[in-house]
Amino acid sequence: MKFIDLMGIIQDEKRSEEYLRSRGVLKSFTSCGNCSSDKLGLIRGDRWKCYHCKSEWTRRKDSILSLVRMKYSEFILCMKFFELELTAEETAAQLNLNYKTIQTLFNKFRIVLTSFDIGKEKK
Pairwise CA distance, residues 20 & 27, whole Å = 9
User: For residue 102, what pLDDT is reported?
Assistant: 95
Average pLDDT over residues 59-81: 86
User: For residue 120, what pLDDT is reported?
Assistant: 54
| Distant-in-sequence, close-in-space partners of 27: CB < 8 Å, separation ≥ 6 | 21, 61, 62, 63
The three-state secondary structure class of 73 is: helix
pTM: 0.77
